[in-house]
Chain A
Amino acid sequence: MSNANLPEPSLDRVDGRLKVTGTATYSAEYQFKNLAHAVLVTSKIAKGRITGLDSKLAEAAPGVLAVISHLNSPGVPGYPSVKQPAERAPIGTAFRVFYDDFVYFSGQPVAVVVAQTLEQARHAASLVQVNYQTEKHETDFEANLAKAAVAQSVQRNKTSPFQDYDRGNPDAIKTAEVKLESTYVFPTQHHQPLEPHAIIAVWEADDKLTIYDKNQGVKSAQGNLASTFKLPRENVQVNSPFIGGAFGSGIRVWPHTIAAVLAAKKVKRPVKLVLGRELMQTSVGSRPFTVQKLAIGASKDGLLTAITHEGIGQTSTYEEHLERTILATRAMYACPNVSTRYRLLNLDVNTPTWMRGPGDATGMFALESALDEMAHELKIDPLEFRIRNHADRDPERNLPWSAKSLKECYRIGADQFGWNKRTLEPRSMERNGLLVGYGMASSLYGFHRHPSKAKAIMLADGSVVVQSATMDIGPGTGTAMTQIAAKMLGVTPQKIRFDLGDSSLPDAPGQNGSATITSVGSAVHVACESLKKKLLALAAAMPGSPLANSRFEDITAKTGRIFPIANPSAGISYSEILKYHRLPQVEVTEESKPGPERDQYSMYSFGCHFVEVQVNPLTFEVRVTRVVTCADVGKIINYKTARSQSIGGIVGGIGMALMEESVMDHRFGRYVNTDFAGYHIPVHADIPQIEVYYVDQPDVYVNPIGSKGLGEIAIVGVAAAVANAVFHATGKRVRQLPITVDKLV
């Protein structure tokens, strides 16, 4: 056990100084002499057609360079030519910008105004007159629930994980000794990173594009823009070295990016487009509104006998966004009879997307609430109930876990939290006139690892440059990679520079799915290992070299010096090696990718959260007063950045539990809380002391460094732990998030 609250010798963030001194340059901050500014005009209706778009007033306004819409767009080469008569986009079509006159959701970009200054563009945008022919829209999820259906993409793919799933006897639930059925409602939530999405688009030549853009994957953005604009991949350069949070909103290339690129093409100048906060809810996806029906059966002695879990998620009319909502239920507990169903409901909204812990955060809110409800029904301690139903091997794939220390997480978490002080009955604990509740929940997240490359370069002065087109949306990628490189090469971290967020660097996946350390960390590990071998060979070739006959296993390196383990004084420094061979630098590029181990083991990160809440019995205000979290994510690379990531996930989970909700007025099909006064995320005063613990044991089967993903499991389960604590405090079970005062009255 390791307590991440204790001071550990963790490397400080390598870019911390740049960030806190304001010297890190974010997408909207690049300077260009000729920069023009773009502001979007967005639709006021949720469904219909544009019957007229009058931009004369806007074009005549001071400073305006262009007003671009479907009427005069320079065109996107990757879009098919508009059919006549025009048709609505079929399901599976990424939104096409300024393509035709159809409106698919309120807030859809219908034009963009480009001007010399931001103020001029903003004013001119207000002068664009758009007329619509309105059609009846459907945005109300609960009113349209009956229309939910199996996704078309799932119908086409018989091996899709979203196919109907039955393990054991699907009717077992009917005969369960104790049975509970509940419906859980998860509202639409938005990522709301503090840095709004922003792009500067620069056409360097007719067939050469550079963008400075907020996204989570420079390589995927590069590929998408290359195919959208029919450019050679290498002619698209994406620069995104600093990202002010994203949580999934930057995984895709969104319409505003295309709009900015089109605008830059039209005005033949660099164009900047920054989304205002009011556009963030309709421009960069959302966590989908989801309804879940769970039936859970158990024996009286506390063993799960059957679970049925149906998840219905919201998507747009033009794309199917599927997420893991019901998948965790198959793997989480040892239960012989499990059935899952997943359905989609197409509505006149913009397409949802992945948001931290996509699907699992939603599904585990329902499952872990239901577990708590059953424990209460059975009068068993909720933690004990989970331990009794612990899955010792993956019940879905019937494979051993690569590693699983969930029971150890439970033990550490419960001890540190003082779970044994919890009384069984709800509304039985009090402090200073306030109701006190203890709640807990498990967490899991599937292991993801993608092929990844890294280049490691030893320079003549013994300093090192490591490069990969990976990203840092906040977790401290550069810091962790620097540590991995420093450890392998035996060089102090201060002599290492790690480059990321640049599409010209070696291939790496975008930052999502908790896969960066495991994918890119492995690539950095093997690239540095390979570089070290190359340097050893060069050292061995030097006359009278003490390393002449050393095998790689017999040597080590420290402070830039490579030496036999058996004879530390007989070493050669990296700079001496390069100097002798008259080499300005030595470099290697390596790829690391997963192998057959994925078919032999089931791989997950696991964890648990313990939450204390206080509830005022008169005013119903809920405050989270304590959180203890413990995770098993294999080997921890950097305690400080890991702890920050866990804390961030808990904070997000508290927001999810108590305040986050995008509210739509369905008469208009339009969100009503489009600013931070209406869309609440936690502030400091909402966040108590958070204690973070890790099991910190390498998982030897997953990758060379033994680390698994942490970003998602930090948030998965937190909302349920809070809801369970609220139930324990008040006796009131809230199954529709967020748990606001009005739901407790």
Chain B
Amino acid sequence: MKPFQYVRPTRLKDAIEAVASDPNARYIAGGTNLIDLMKRGIDSSEKLVDINGLPLKKIEKRNGFLRIGALALNSQVAQHKLVLENHPLLAQALNAGASGQLRNMATVGGNILQRTRCPYFYDPVFPCNKRKPGAGCGALEGINRTHAIFGVSKNDPTQSCIAVHPSDFCVALSALDATVVAVGIQGERRIPFSNFHRLPENRPDLDTNLEKGELIVAVEIPDAVFTKHIHYLKIRDRASYAFALVSVATALDLENNRIKSARLALGGVAHKPWRLLEVEKSLVGQPVSEATFRKAAELAMQGAKAFEHNTYKLTLTPNAIIQALKNAVALV
């Protein structure tokens, strides 16, 4: 861990200026990921700008959407009345992540910005294009049991990255068409969630499209009808406190036992939350049945590509989709 400077501004403007003006500065909120990265020498920031003093904790209903402040804690959001009433899928996803202690420290903004758990990223002895662009991808021909099957970058070893995004919350945010509100030197902008995280492409070191110095101040989730037939299914190596092998966020709106609209996103399968827009469209108008879900799951797998140790995901993922959809409509 490198020695670092620590500041705790109380005004948003000061915080943004502090990070925007210093290439080696970054924000810290809960620190549940950043501290680990610093201790292992993966993040070598020289200045930490603690944003916990900023007034960004509010969870409120606004016209047409629910707004959740970036500093609201994962545990607060998961228990919040407005969240449970309007977007229970978010609460399910949050509660599927980490542990009680971590959820009490981790913030909404930090959750969205958490970095991959790929072991090759976490140990500087291994090559990793995300940690050190051009160094190579350790996972590509290495231990890749937990790695991506969708959206993997081209087969150029100096650019490849098959890491997955570790968040559960983000999978639900993606399914619910959330918007990220970020403020930078240039002012505020709204980034649609589907465009917030990146695929690795030729810059696997970049997880998101956030600009240097931009700070997430809130996420906004548009009002929706998905309160009843929802489910967040997380398949992992133990019952709790583990990252997803595959996760599925699903929300359905039903009418006369037919699907009126559907939302579907996957976690643990790509460099970003994997939204399945085509599958959602295909579900509209279909009857609620296992056959419908099977067809949807099959469609979802188009373009999937496995590596040496994660071929099981090609079976597990569609099965998880079927199981999640069944759970959402209580179909046994």
The reply on A78 being an interface residue by CB < 8 A is no
The reply on A336 being an interface residue by CB < 8 A is no
A618 interface neighbour in B2, B123, B126, B319, Cβ under 8 Å: B319
Give a binary string over A25-69; 1 marks a CB under 8 Å from any B CB, 0 the rest.
000000000000000000010000000000000000010000000
A357 to B17 Cα, complex, angstroms = 58
Q: Is the interface of A mostly helix, strand, loop or mixed?
A: loop
A663 to B315 Cα, complex, angstroms = 23
B120 interface neighbour in A122, A659, A672, Cβ under 8 Å: A672
A685 touches B323 (CB 8 A): no
Residue in chain B with minimal CB distance to A119: B1
A126 to B1 Cα, complex, angstroms = 8
B123 touches A674 (CB 8 A): yes
A63 to B160 Cα, complex, angstroms = 41
Q: Which of B112-157 contact A (CB under 8 A)?
A: 117, 119-120, 122-123, 125-126, 138, 141-143, 145
Which residues in B have their C-beta under 8 angstroms from that of A620? 316, 319
Given contacts A663-B143, A670-B123, A742-B145, contact A619 B319 (CB under 8 A): yes
- Which 5 pairs between the two chains have the least Cβ-Cβ distance? A685-B239, A742-B312, A685-B240, A672-B119, A745-B312
Q: Is the interface of B mostly helix, strand, loop or mixed?
A: loop
A126 to B44 Cα, complex, angstroms = 11
Q: How far is the CB of A309 from chain B (nearest CB, A)?
A: 30
A618 touches B323 (CB 8 A): yes
The reply on B305 being an interface residue by CB < 8 A is no
A618 to B322 Cα, complex, angstroms = 8
Which residues in B have their C-beta under 8 angstroms from that of A82? none
B320 touches A619 (CB 8 A): yes
Which residues in B have their C-beta under 8 angstroms from that of A44? 125
A739 to B119 Cα, complex, angstroms = 21
Which residues in B have their C-beta under 8 angstroms from that of A682? 238
Which residues in B have their C-beta under 8 angstroms from that of A684? 240
Which of A62, A618, A667 is most buried by chain B, counting CB atoms within 10 A of its CB?
A618
Q: How far is the CB of B329 from chain A (nearest CB, A)?
A: 14
Which residues in A have their C-beta under 8 angstroms from that of B319? 618-620
The reply on B172 being an interface residue by CB < 8 A is no
Q: How far is the CB of B80 from chain A (nearest CB, A)?
A: 23
Which residues in A have their C-beta under 8 angstroms from that of B239? 623, 683, 685-686
A619 to B318 Cα, complex, angstroms = 9
Residue in chain A with minimal CB distance to B117: A677
Given contacts A126-B41, A668-B125, contact A619 B238 (CB under 8 A): no
A278 to B37 Cα, complex, angstroms = 13
Give a binary string over B1-21; 1 marks a CB under 8 Å from any A CB, 0 the rest.
111000000000000000000
B237 touches A741 (CB 8 A): yes
A181 to B215 Cα, complex, angstroms = 62
A619 interface neighbour in B122, B125, B240, B323, Cβ under 8 Å: B323
Listed A/B pairs (6) with beta-carbon separation below 8 Å: A126-B41, A620-B316, A659-B238, A668-B125, A674-B122, A742-B245
Chain B residues within 8 Å of chain A by Cβ, number: 40
Q: Which of B226-262 contact A (CB under 8 A)?
A: 233, 235, 237-243, 245
B126 touches A619 (CB 8 A): no
Given contacts A119-B1, A665-B126, A672-B143, contact A745 B332 (CB under 8 A): no
Seed contacts A670-B125, A678-B117; 5 additional CB < 8 Å A-B pairs:
A619-B316, A619-B323, A670-B123, A672-B119, A742-B245
The reply on A123 being an interface residue by CB < 8 A is yes
Which residues in A have their C-beta under 8 angstroms from that of B240? 683-686
Q: How far is the CB of B159 from chain A (nearest CB, A)?
A: 20
The reply on A675 being an interface residue by CB < 8 A is yes
B237 touches A740 (CB 8 A): yes
A44 to B124 Cα, complex, angstroms = 9
* A-B interface pairs (CB < 8 A), number: 98
A675 to B40 Cα, complex, angstroms = 11
B238 touches A658 (CB 8 A): yes
Which residues in A have their C-beta under 8 angstroms from that of B36? 675
Q: How far is the CB of A11 from chain B (nearest CB, A)?
A: 32
B312 interface neighbour in A623, A677, A680, A741, Cβ under 8 Å: A741
Which residues in A have their C-beta under 8 angstroms from that of B141? 667
Which of A620, A672, A682 is most buried by chain B, counting CB atoms within 10 A of its CB?
A672
A659 interface neighbour in B145, B237, B332, Cβ under 8 Å: B237
B1 touches A123 (CB 8 A): yes
Which residues in B have their C-beta under 8 angstroms from that of A678? 117, 119
Q: Which of B205-241 contact A (CB under 8 A)?
A: 233, 235, 237-241
Q: Which of A682-697 contact B (CB under 8 A)?
A: 682-686
The reply on A673 being an interface residue by CB < 8 A is yes
Which residues in A have their C-beta under 8 angstroms from that of B62? none
A15 to B320 Cα, complex, angstroms = 47
The reply on B295 being an interface residue by CB < 8 A is no
A682 to B242 Cα, complex, angstroms = 10
A620 to B143 Cα, complex, angstroms = 21
B316 touches A745 (CB 8 A): yes
Which residues in B have their C-beta under 8 angstroms from that of A663? 143
B142 touches A672 (CB 8 A): yes
The reply on B309 being an interface residue by CB < 8 A is yes
The reply on A84 being an interface residue by CB < 8 A is no
Q: Which of A645-665 contact B (CB under 8 A)?
A: 658-659, 663, 665
Which residues in A have their C-beta under 8 angstroms from that of B281? none
Which of A44, A123, A665 is most buried by chain B, counting CB atoms within 10 A of its CB?
A665
A343 to B120 Cα, complex, angstroms = 33
Q: How far is the CB of A45 from chain B (nearest CB, A)?
A: 9
The reply on B81 being an interface residue by CB < 8 A is no
A686 to B315 Cα, complex, angstroms = 24
Q: Which of A615-644 contact B (CB under 8 A)?
A: 616, 618-621, 623
The reply on B58 being an interface residue by CB < 8 A is no
Q: How far is the CB of B207 from chain A (nearest CB, A)?
A: 17
Which residues in B have their C-beta under 8 angstroms from that of A23? none
The reply on B189 being an interface residue by CB < 8 A is no
Which residues in B have their C-beta under 8 angstroms from that of A619? 233, 235, 316, 319-320, 323
Which residues in B have their C-beta under 8 angstroms from that of A670? 123, 125-126
A119 touches B143 (CB 8 A): no
A432 to B330 Cα, complex, angstroms = 12
Given contacts A616-B323, A619-B320, A742-B309, contact A672 B235 (CB under 8 A): no
A505 to B170 Cα, complex, angstroms = 58
Residue in chain A with minimal CB distance to B125: A44
Which residues in B have their C-beta under 8 angstroms from that of A683? 99, 238-241
Q: How far is the CB of B105 from chain A (nearest CB, A)?
A: 15
A680 to B117 Cα, complex, angstroms = 14
Which residues in A have their C-beta under 8 angstroms from that of B142? 665, 667, 672
A433 to B322 Cα, complex, angstroms = 14
Which residues in B have their C-beta under 8 angstroms from that of A740? 237
A686 to B141 Cα, complex, angstroms = 32
Residue in chain B with minimal CB distance to A106: B125
Which residues in B have their C-beta under 8 angstroms from that of A659? 237-238
A621 to B236 Cα, complex, angstroms = 8
Which residues in B have their C-beta under 8 angstroms from that of A742? 145, 245, 309-310, 312, 316
Residue in chain B with minimal CB distance to A687: B239
A677 to B39 Cα, complex, angstroms = 15
B126 touches A686 (CB 8 A): no
A686 touches B238 (CB 8 A): yes
Which of A44, A623, A677 is most buried by chain B, counting CB atoms within 10 A of its CB?
A677
A745 to B312 Cα, complex, angstroms = 6
B40 touches A278 (CB 8 A): yes
A680 touches B237 (CB 8 A): yes
A618 touches B145 (CB 8 A): no
Residue in chain B with minimal CB distance to A744: B312
Q: Which of A156-208 contact B (CB under 8 A)?
A: none
Which residues in B have their C-beta under 8 angstroms from that of A62? 3
Q: How far is the CB of A529 from chain B (nearest CB, A)?
A: 48
Q: How far is the CB of A619 from chain B (nearest CB, A)?
A: 5
Which residues in B have their C-beta under 8 angstroms from that of A616? 323
B237 touches A433 (CB 8 A): no
A665 touches B117 (CB 8 A): no
Which residues in A have their C-beta under 8 angstroms from that of B320? 618-619
Given contacts A619-B319, A620-B316, A663-B143, contact A741 B245 (CB under 8 A): yes
